């Protein structure tokens, strides 16, 4: 895979320009549809230099909605009206709420794959290997008692659920709760799969083959640290024999597991949530110095280029929410670092490109700065984008994203180049504050770019020192003109970074 790879995550259920009320049912609020992702809208998404769309919530999952011809779910085992997209009720089906015609739902998804490919983008969906919906039911595969961890007592769900669901013996709950008494804070609607039984391995292999055969190009693999790494190390090579270009992304959080899931698990990319993401958020919130980025990337070693960088996804609070920094514009310095520091892939969560605030109380999900994954809701900025009614700030932020993403994915300096961190030669001075400014070089061949990012809330003038060693490391011949950039004064606009070509 050559160059910077941009992934666009879309929670399809929340896509569209419908009117929604807090806590509204499917019949009231409706849902985003496969058909809503039209050729025109795909072309617009492509303008962000996107190379793959991660369609989140595609596989059939538990909900409180009744669809003709589909077995109803036990309402007490569903969070919110729409339910969690990670409580899979049938690995071999798509969610009927996403279809214009329920009986034609799989064809509609297959057509979405074709449209996405025709627009020049790959398709990624979720693979949820750790757990399934507690009342899972599928005509194409059957999990027996041997596929679960059975406990020595009947299931006792939280009394607040007022559930009539019976399970005897109880099965371990999805979040590694090996108690027959899961709490409201547990993933009580799910049960954990048992990989001590080899049959589970083969069943999951068949599921991956099913979706890849439909044209799915990659899988974002959910909560991989709760699944034996040996399974991934076995199944991915099998998949690549059949689908050589297939890609796998690991949702991994513990830094000590990065190397394990990269090597033994054979993942192509790994979440860098506990690394670059957490560090950048802390810097934006004033909890960390910008200089902490240096130790962060150094700790990754040879994994730096396999990490999936992001600033938002369905689990995290929106950057522009009141819980983070309150403005999409103020988050641009973090975008520049995450996007330009290396050649690792970068992911956008739909609406992020407009500075989506996520400050709605959608129903089951409280006012938490996130776009709910449990409710039939919308993303306000996406609605305005579809209606061509973006406000001034949203338009400005979108233009910044388009411009920066294009540079990052087109210029060889950023798609193939090496990086030199300038932090160690720019200590505190009248012209540089390492708590608020971060500077680095990118170079390819005899061309280079100097990137200086300002995390301060005011405009500053800086001078950046560039050591002779930087040119040696980057294999740049030191002409007179290049030497003149040492300690060049740069003006940095408020909240923005500057990309200067040498």
**Residues β-bridged to residue 453:** 438, 497
E strand or H helix that includes residue 92 = strand 88-94
Residue 36 has what pLDDT?
Answer: 98
Task: Tell the residue number behind the tokens 């919130």, with chain if given.
Answer: 285
The H-or-E segment that residue 461 falls in is strand 460-464
- Enter the DSSP assignment of 209: H
Is 197 inside any structural domain?
no
The rounded distance, in Å, linking the Cα atoms of 327 and 320 is 4
DSSP-derived 3-state class of residue 128:
coil
With H, G, I as helix, E, B as strand and everything else as coil, classify residue 116: helix
In this prediction, residue 502 carries a pLDDT of 38
Q: What are phi and psi of 212, to 5 degrees?
A: -65, -35
Query: Quick one: pLDDT at residue 498?
Result: 42
In order of 135, 219, 223, 336, 394, the CA distances from 254 in angstroms are: 31, 20, 11, 25, 34
State both tokens at 287: 């909890």
Looking at residue 145, the DSSP 8-state letter turns out to be G
Classify residue 458: in a domain, yes or no: yes
Q: How many domains in the chain?
A: 1
Domain-located, residue 193? no
Q: How far apart are CA 138 and CA 151, in angstroms?
A: 23
Helical ranges in 127-275 per DSSP H = 198-213, 229-242, 258-263
Please tell me what DSSP assigns to residue 314. T
Please report whether residue 427 resides in a domain: yes
Asked if residue 445 is part of any domain, the answer here is: yes
In a domain, 121, yes or no: no
Q: Which pairing describes strands 497-501 and 218-221: parallel, antiparallel, or unpaired?
A: unpaired
d(C-alpha 282, C-alpha 492), whole Å: 21
What is the per-residue pLDDT for 492? 38
- Nearest-10 Cα torsion for 487, 490, 492, 497: -70
- Residue 500 has a pLDDT of 40
Task: Note whether residue 192 is domain-resident.
Answer: no
| Nearest CA-CA partner of 89 in 191, 3, 165, 188 | 191
Sign of CA dihedral 61, 65, 71, 76: positive
pLDDT at 479: 55
Distances (CA, A) of 53 to 50, 122, 181, 372: 7, 6, 39, 19
The reported pTM is 0.94
Instruction: Give CA–CA dist 213/123, Å, rounded.
Output: 12
Q: How far is the CA of 141 from the CAs of 44, 147, 148, 158, in angstroms?
A: 38, 12, 15, 29
Q: Does residue 95 lie within any of the structural domains?
A: no
The structure tokens listed for 130 are: 């750790």
Alpha helices by DSSP H, listed for 411-478, are: 412-415, 468-473
DSSP 102: G
Give the number of other Cβ atoms within 10 Å of residue 243's Cβ: 17
**Strands, DSSP E only, in 128-272?**
131-133, 190-192, 218-221, 247-250, 269-271
**Tokens encoding 74:** 């036990």
Give CA torsion, residues 211, 213, 215, 216, to 10 deg.
Answer: 30
- The domain containing residue 463 runs over which residues? 415-501
Assigned token pair, 453: 């990012």
| Paired tokens of 326 | 């309150």
CATH code (residue 431): 2.60.40
Long-range pairs of 102-111 with CB within 8 A, sequence gap ≥ 24: 102/67, 102/68, 102/69, 102/70, 103/69, 105/34, 108/33, 108/34, 108/35, 109/34, 109/58, 109/214, 110/214, 110/215, 111/34
**Sign of the four-CA dihedral 223, 227, 228, 230:** negative
Helix (H) or strand (E) holding 332: helix 332-340
Give the Cβ contact number of residue 166 at 10 Å.
8
d(CA 184, CA 168): 20
Residue of 303, 295, 236 whose CA lies nearest to 269: 303
Per-residue pLDDT of the chain (502 residues; tens, 9 = 90+): 456 899 999 999 999 999 999 999 999 999 999 999 999 999 999 999 999 999 999 999 999 999 999 999 999 999 999 999 999 999 999 999 999 999 999 999 999 999 999 999 999 999 999 999 999 999 999 999 999 999 999 999 999 999 999 999 999 999 999 999 999 999 999 999 999 999 999 999 999 999 999 999 999 999 999 999 999 999 999 999 999 999 999 999 999 999 999 999 999 999 999 999 999 999 999 999 999 999 999 999 999 999 999 999 999 999 999 999 999 999 999 999 999 999 999 999 999 999 999 999 999 988 999 999 999 999 999 999 999 999 999 999 999 999 999 999 999 999 999 999 999 999 999 999 999 999 999 999 988 999 999 999 888 888 899 999 999 999 987 654 444 443 333 333 333 444 443 3
């Amino acid at each position: 895979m050559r160059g910077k790879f941009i992934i666009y995550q879309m929670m399809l259920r929340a896509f569209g320009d419908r009117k929604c009320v807090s806590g509204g049912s499917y019949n009231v609020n409706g849902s985003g549809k496969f058909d809503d992702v039209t050729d025109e809208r795909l072309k617009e998404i492509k303008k962000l230099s996107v190379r793959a769309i991660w369609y989140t919530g595609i596989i059939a999952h538990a909900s409180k909605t009744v669809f003709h011809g589909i077995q109803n779910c036990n309402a007490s085992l569903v969070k919110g009206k729409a339910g969690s997209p990670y409580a899979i009720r049938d690995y071999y089906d798509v969610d009927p709420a996403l279809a214009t015609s329920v009986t034609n739902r799989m064809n509609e998804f297959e057509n979405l794959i074709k449209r996405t490919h025709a627009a020049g983008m790959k398709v990624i969906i979720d693979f949820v290997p750790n757990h399934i919906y507690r009342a899972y039911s599928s005509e194409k595969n059957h999990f027996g008692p041997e596929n679960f961890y059975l406990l020595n007592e009947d299931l006792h769900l939280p009394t607040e659920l007022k559930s009539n669901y019976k399970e005897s013996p109880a099965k371990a709950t999805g979040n590694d709760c090996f108690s027959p008494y899961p709490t409201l804070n547990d993933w009580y609607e799910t049960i954990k799969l048992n990989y001590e039984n080899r049959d589970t391995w083969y069943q999951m292999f068949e599921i991956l083959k099913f979706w890849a055969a439909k044209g799915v190009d990659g899988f974002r693999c959910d909560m991989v640290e709760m699944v034996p790494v040996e399974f991934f190390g076995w199944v991915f090579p099998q998949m690549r024999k059949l689908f050589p270009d297939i890609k796998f992304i690991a949702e991994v959080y513990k830094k000590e597991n990065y190397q394990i899931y990269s090597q033994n698990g054979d993942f192509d990319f790994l979440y860098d949530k506990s690394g670059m993401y957490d560090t950048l958020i802390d810097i934006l919130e004033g909890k960390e110095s910008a200089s902490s980025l240096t130790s962060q990337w150094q700790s990754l070693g040879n994994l730096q280029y396999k990490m999936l960088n992001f600033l938002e996804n369905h689990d995290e609070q929106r950057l522009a929410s009141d819980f983070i920094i309150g403005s999409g514009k103020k988050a641009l310095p973090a975008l520049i670092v995450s996007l330009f520091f290396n050649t690792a892939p970068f992911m956008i969560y739909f609406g992020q490109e407009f500075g989506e605030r996520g400050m709605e109380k959608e129903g089951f999900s409280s006012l938490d700065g996130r776009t709910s994954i449990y409710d039939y809701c919308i993303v306000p900025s996406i609605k305005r984008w579809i209606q061509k009614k973006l406000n001034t700030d949203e338009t400005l932020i979108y233009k910044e994203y388009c411009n920066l993403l294009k540079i990052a994915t087109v210029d060889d300096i950023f798609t193939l180049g090496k990086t030199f961190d300038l932090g160690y030669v720019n200590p505190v001075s009248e012209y540089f504050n390492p708590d608020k400014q971060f500077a680095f070089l990118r170079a390819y061949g005899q061309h280079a770019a100097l990137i200086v990012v300002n995390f301060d809330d005011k405009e500053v003038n800086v001078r950046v020192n560039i050591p002779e060693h930087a040119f040696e490391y980057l294999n740049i011949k030191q002409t007179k003109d290049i030497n003149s950039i040492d300690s060049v004064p740069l003006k940095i606009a408020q909240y923005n970074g500057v990309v200067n070509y040498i």
